[in-house]
Each structure stands twice: as structure tokens, then as C-alpha cells.
Amino acid sequence: MTTVQEAADRVAAPRPRGGIGQSVNDSLVVAKRNLIRMTRIPEMIIFGMIQPIMFVVLFSYVFGGSMQIGGSTSSSVYREFLMAGIFAQTVTFATAGAGAGIADDMHKGLIDRFRSLPMTRGAVLTGRTLADLVQTALTVVVLAVVALLVGWRIHEGVLKALAAFALLLLLGYAFSWIGALIGLSVRTPEAATSGGLIWLFPVTFISNAFVDSSKMTPWLQTIAEWNPFSATVQACRELFGNPGVSASDAWPMQHPVLASIIYSILIIAVFRTLAVRKYRSAV
């Protein structure tokens, strides 16, 4: 009788999930936890939106009349040229926040609490990066509204514009894994913030985001054209139908959409592997 009952209990009991299913579920649980935390600290979201809006206003109205794009010095032309770069800068600058958040969790011992739970190791980082991606998407939506107000327009239809935003979010998600690795490699959230921004400035400014890269010196132009950041900016300009699509012979500039996807996937593959490995050794 006991044997029969035990067999029935084994059949009735739910089987524990493993592999990809368990990892996805754990990642979503961690992402939900981080999203709830963000809603309880609204200033995190508000301050994250203020910076890109300031960049739009400052670059549009302070530098707009001094920039020559396609032979035109019109500020309206420069605003349309600029917005793809501002969008890309916004999603990549979220890297610093991702790194600081993970460093803060490490510093407070929250990661040690996760270790006591029956969850996959990589889920802690994946959930965090997914939550940051949601926050970044919200910032991009607000920024797009501001851009429309200052004169930016799309000229290739809604579907292509959505594809451009998808590329932006893919790039932002890829860079968030760089931030995760930085957050795991430093001792304090302050160091993670500083470390997350130092390398971003040359990446975003040695590019085609704010100026025409063809006007740079040859060696600097080569760096800018092969910069993964530039590929996404170029792809967005092409999909938005904005001015400034370069006639460069560099492969990423000739095939920016494909180059953007390849760059982002490679960054995710490399830095997710390194971050998860660092996480396992750190805890």
C-alpha cells in the first residue's frame, strides 16, 4: 500500500523544471523584482530622462546652426541628423546605471541571498539587464516625443522606425552586459558609475553620432566608421530616413543594419559569458 501511495505521489508531484525553462523563469522573477524597485524610486527614472533631453536641447539649439550636414547649415537638418546619435547615446549611457546597480547589490550582500535560493546563476544578471532594458525603452519613448517637438521626423514609415528602435534597444542591452561586468569587477557603486562612463565618452564621440565622420582626419575616420556605436547610428538614420547617410566605403557604413545586429550579438555573447563567469567566481 505504501509503495502504491508513493508512486501516486511521484506522479502527482510537479516535476522541477531545468535548463532553459528554469533559467528564463528565474530571470523574469529577478527582472520583476528590479522593476518593482525602480517604481519605488521614481527619481531614478526621472533623472535618467533629464540628461538625454538636455543633450537634445543643447546640441540642437547651441550647435545646430554651426554644423554643416550634406552641404547645409540649417539647424533643422542638423536636428534630424542628430537624433539617431542622441538615441544611441541614451541607450548606451544606461550602461553606467546597470553597472552601479549590480555593484550596489554586491555591496549590500543581496547577491549572497540569491545564492541561497534554488535558481540558476546567470538569472541574477539576466534579470537585472532585462529590467534595465525596460527602463531604457521608457526613456527612449519620452525622448522620441521631445525629439518630435523640436522638429525631428521619420520619413521611411512606422515599420522601419520601429526596426530602428529595436536596433537601439539591442545595442543598449548589449552594452548593459559590459556594465554588468564592470559592476562585478569593482568594489563600490560609485566606482561602477565612474568606470561605466569613462570608456563611453570616446566610444560615443569618436563616431558619426554628432558630426559627419568624413570630416575627421583619416585615422580617426577609420575608427569612427568601424565603431559598433556608429553602425547602429548609421542604421537608424537609414531606417528613419534622416540626413547624414555616409557614402563611406567601410563595410559597416555600407551595411549598417546587418553590422549593427552582428556587433550587438557579438558583444552580448562575449560579455555575458565574461560577466557570468565573473559572477560565479565573485560570489
| Helix, strand, coil % over all residues of the chain, rounded to 5 | 80, 0, 20
Q: Mind listing the pLDDT tens digit for each residue in 51-92?
A: 788 878 777 777 666 666 665 556 677 888 888 999 999 999
Give the rounded distance of the alpha carbon of 80 from its chain centre.
22
Which contiguous run of DSSP H or E holds residue 109? Answer: none
Q: What is each CA distance from 30 to 24, 34, 39, 171, 178, in whole angstroms?
A: 10, 6, 15, 21, 19
CA distance 122 to 278: 10
Kindly state the greatest CA–CA separation across the chain.
89
Whether 78 and 67 have beta carbons less than 8 Å apart is answered as yes
- DSSP secondary structure letters along 233-262: HHHHHHHHT-S------SHHHHSHHHHHHH
Q: Where are the beta strands (DSSP E) in 168-217?
A: none
Query: What are the backbone dihedrals phi and psi of residue 137, each rounded to the nearest 5 degrees, phi first?
Result: -60, -40
Q: Give 72's strand partners.
A: 69
CA distance 198 to 89: 14
Q: Mind listing the pLDDT tens digit for each residue in 170-190?
A: 999 999 999 888 888 887 878
Q: Which of 236, 229, 228 is nearest to 152 (CA)?
A: 236
Above pLDDT 70, what percent of the chain?
Answer: 83
- DSSP code at position 61: I
Q: Which of 134, 133, 115 is nearest to 124 (CA)?
A: 115
CA distance 161 to 280: 39
Q: Mind listing the pLDDT tens digit for each residue in 195-243?
A: 878 888 899 999 988 888 888 899 999 999 999 999 999 999 999 988 7
Which contiguous run of DSSP H or E holds residue 105? Answer: helix 75-108
Q: Give 69's strand partners.
A: 72
Residue 247 CB neighbour total at 10 angstroms: 7
Average pLDDT for residues 257-283, to the nearest whole number? Answer: 89
Answer yes or no: is pLDDT of 8 > 60: no
- pLDDT on residue 177: 92
Q: What is each CA distance from 64 to 38, 51, 60, 82, 266, in whole angstroms?
A: 35, 18, 5, 9, 35
Boundaries of every domain in the chain: 23-282
Answer yes or no: is pLDDT of 45 > 60: yes
Q: What is the pTM of this model?
A: 0.84
